[in-house]
Structure 1
Amino acid sequence: MQRVHFLKDCFLNLDTFHKQIVIGTAVAAGVALLYVEHRRCYKVQTIPQGDGWWGAGEKSQSEDDKIYSFEVQTSDDEIKVLQERLDNTRYSDPLEDSTFEYGFNSTYLKQVVSYWRHQFDWEKKVAMLNKYPHFKTKIEGLDVHFIHVRPTPQKNQKVVPLMLVHGWPGSFFEFYKILPLLTESHNDLAFEVICPSIPGYGFSEAPHKQGFNTFAAARIFLKLMERLGFLQFYLQGGDWGSLITTNMAQMKPQCVKGLHLNSFMSRKGFKVMLSLLIGPYLPRLVSLSREDVRRLFPFFKKQVWTILRESGYLHIQATKPDTLGCAMNDSPVGLAAYILEKFSTWTDMENIHLEDGGLERKFSLDDLLTNVMIYWTTGSIVSSMRFYKENLKENIGNRIDSRTRIFVPTGLAAFPGELMHCPKSWAQNRFQNIVSYTMMPRGGHFAAFEEPHLLADDLIQFVRRVEL
């Protein structure tokens, strides 16, 4: 680190002429290395779809491919057990003036639990979840849950199939605010929406065997769309949903009419390194906008430190998910604190300085606790955490999908509160057909949950561009 500061000081002390020489040399070297990297990477245009079996025991010779209606249910016993656990919670006292800087502040946690115990009505929320049609179907040995929402048909209106895919620690419920915005009439365009639960999340059965990663999830969702009769469709995703939908586009690009993402990253390379070195001084030279510079720099504070501070959960879940999962699966309050802390910080990093974590600035406790209850009542927190280990057993940057460019029409929505900012110039390293790239005015990681109108508008304008 001292060497980095030394080199930076040396550069700043150079006169203008010598700075230009240094920058020119770096640019020339960058062009040469970019050419080498271009020749070395992205030789694969599609990734194999393959096949798999994730059910218990040996693979079945014949699999039931029927689609069955499903309904979310609860019972008096389920609610009684939860209330007893909430009543018997043992709290720890927070440090004075610690706000959310040490994690979920237990003083505010008591308020959340009090609301959960005395005001939150799970039976009403179950009825609300069932307002959209739910289904299950068996794919690769697993019961895959999804909701399927059809628009009200209008004359001379084009209906477009769309799959929405969630991430962690979210669920299909994240999309409940955006669903009516997509399925209602948009004059010439409406969406028929399929929203599945990733296997191991919520009401989708958890894999019984090791190795279930984003490739497997992508393959299962492609089979789901085929089973529903869709030969071509659009995809939208964030978090794990972003990688899953990207893998779907890499496996069967002929089926994916368009890919829309609200969290995305580019392959690391010299172009990115060059942007980081020159960007703060000559952003146009490395194709960075003013907003890119504002979001990226100072890089250590806004990007590196953010990842160091926010990725502790990832290291645990990518190595020993079952250990921490035991605690989360046994304690509803522990589960809520663990999940809701992410909805605080990943929405706005400045929320750590607030005693309530800013949770109710963008979300209601009813909505937040409904998402928690989906994990609690299905006992799916452990299997959802295992998804990290299955995907990070090896360097994810060395996987075949990292070396495979995406050629389908792509729409990218860059929200300012996202954990990592990816400029359009970086995204172009990977996404070869960017139809729209939007610097969103506000919002963070959980875009559909937090800013449904913004995300819906951007998705609609993207699809319109592709369709025209």
Structure 2
Amino acid sequence: MQGGGDVGEYRIDVDPAELAELHDRLERTRWPDTLPDTGWADGADLSFVKQMCEDWRHHDWAATQDRLNELPHHLVDLGDAQVHCIHQRGVGPDPLPLVLTHGWPSSFVEMLDVIGPLTDPEAHGGDGADAFHVVVPSLPGYGFSPAPTEPGTDAGVIADLWVKLMAHFGYDRFGSQGGDWGSAVTTALGARHPDRLVGIHLNMLAPPIDPATLTAEQRRWWDDLADYRDQEWGYVHLQRTKPHTPAFALTDSPAGLAAWILEKWWRWSDCEGPDGRRDLWRRFTPEQVFTNLTVYWVTRSIGPSLRLYRETFGAGSLISQPPRITVPTGVALFNEPNRPPRELVEPWYDLRRYTTIDEGGHFPAMENPAALVEEVRAFFRPLREGASTVRA
């Protein structure tokens, strides 16, 4: 098999027996004992997870699969790895290549709602001059990208793979966008391959911060973030130190997988209503939730997805310790605690645009796709002129 070539245009085709086994496991779930009236305080809410698993059992995957296969999927051999991706060509006078990288615990499904508006702006009420050629890869080991077979695939290595992937499609220079792991990979692209990047756009970042230098207002934000991490980051410590242990349970139990993933979607999303109650359906559709869960289940993605924490954090995370990024950078921070003030971001990036958006949380491509699309368009608009990006 030659490096840098298509293994083939890819069609998602899940074995019906795999789905039948999933439904059987969901029906036979052994539910844990939990204390009454704890809700989400101690983790995933039992009654919520029970209802979700019942609904998941009746989800029409065949219809979902048909819709997914309307997009142009590829499985590309990059020599060091095979990568699944969607490659949608733009419609406009001079589309700019753009790679969109998802995070955890999501998949390529996270980006589905922004592909159309970014590739064909006129069809979605925009200007064709803002069109992009969009590539949405699945991180190694996530979804339909095969898992690494040796240690070492961290965010920097993935960034190197994305350069090869974009070159495979004829894109010598391109833009990059992401949050969560997508932010880490996009930051690594800016650090390791500045000559290949037209610009980078982030909806999450964590620049190095010296608490001793903070103003009183900045210190309040920092202390609030520290409290949040103390309450909500137990998963990080587990996944960066012992990722294989939870992988046994989550790979074998679809109910456990749903609880592990959806507790993060519930907690990290901007799903709180005016009455103070959090409701997942304020930000996500059942189709998004059950498609993502099914992709994780049928591909056994959860284990490799946990391991990425060990690989990247163990190597010195580019999330928390980036070099200064010289590539033009845009930042759009949505409604979540990790929203560093502009003046703490500027020393570490060539910051051209910084926006805070109060609607939408950790998953803006799903929670508020229109706002994310507009931010990406606005950031890259002045960078397009003279950007030689596509080989003839």
TM (normalized to structure 1)? 0.77
Q: Any idea what SS the aligned residue of 1:164 has?
A: strand
Distance (whole Å) between structure 1 residues aligned to residue 280 and residue 189 of structure 2? 33
8 Å CA contact retained: 2:283, 2:360: no
Q: Deviations over 1:305-337 (max 9, x none)?
A: 111111111111101111110000000111011
Instruction: Choose the corresponding residue for 2:102, options 146, 151, 166.
Output: 166
Match for residue 388 of structure 2? Answer: none
**Residue identity matched to 2:195:** Q
Change (3 A) 1:335 1:410: same
- Counterpart of 1:448 (choices 360, 365, 370) is 365
Give yes or no for the alignment of 1:177 onto 2:113: yes
Q: Structure 2 stretches of 5 or more lacking a match?
A: 386-392
2:46 to 95, 106, 109: 106
Structure 2 partner of 1:343: 265
Distance in 2, matches of 1:95 and 1:347, equals: 25
* 4+ residue segments displaced more than 6 Å: none
Match of 1:134 in 2: 73
Instruction: Could you tell me which runs of 5 or more consecutive residues in structure 1 were left unpaired when the two chains were aligned.
Output: 1-61, 281-292
2:327 match: secondary structure: coil
Give the distance between the partners of 1:64 and 1:222, measured in 2 at CA: 14
| Residue range with higher mean Cα deviation, 94-103 or 321-330 | 94-103
One-letter code of the match for 1:404?
Answer: P
Q: Which residue of 2 aligns with 1:31?
A: none
Which SS does the other structure have where 1:230 is aligned? coil
Mapped to 1, the partners of 2:276 and 2:255 lie a distance apart of 20
Matched ranges for 1:325-404 at <5 A? 325-348=247-270, 357-396=278-317, 402=321, 404=323
In 2, distance between residues paired with 1:315 and 1:364?
Answer: 30
Q: Cα gap change, 1:403/1:138 in structure 2, threshold over 3 Å: closer, same or farther?
A: same
Say whether residues 1:224 and 2:147 are aligned partners: no
Residues 231 and 173 (structure 1), Cα distance of their counterparts in 2 relative to 1, 3 Å cut? same
**Matched residues, number:** 378
State the TM-score, normalized to the length of structure 2. Answer: 0.91
Amino acid at match of 2:209: K
Amino acid at match of 2:9: S
Give, in angstroms, the shift of residue 403 of structure 1: 5.4
Structure 2 counterpart of 1:430, one-letter code:
W
The residue aligned with 1:190 is 131
Alignment RMSD, CA only? 2.1
Contact 1:435/1:465, CA 8 A, preserved across alignment: no
Residue in structure 2 matched with residue 45 of structure 1 by the alignment: none
One-letter amino acid matched to 2:60: D
How far apart are the structure 1 equivalents of 2:280 and 2:220? 26
Conserved 8 A contact 2:73-2:86? yes
Counterpart for residue 389 of structure 2: none
Residues 51-450 of structure 1 aligned to structure 2 (within 5 Å):
63-67=2-6, 68-118=8-58, 120-152=59-91, 154=92, 157-184=93-120, 185=122, 186-269=127-210, 272-275=211-214, 278-280=215-217, 297=220, 299-300=222-223, 302-348=224-270, 357-396=278-317, 402=321, 404-417=323-336, 419-431=337-349, 433-450=350-367
Judged with a 3 Å threshold, the aligned counterparts in structure 2 of structure 1 residues 459 and 249 are, in CA distance, closer, same or farther, namely same
Structure 1 residue 250, shift from structure 2 partner: 1.4
Aligned residue number for residue 28 of structure 1? none
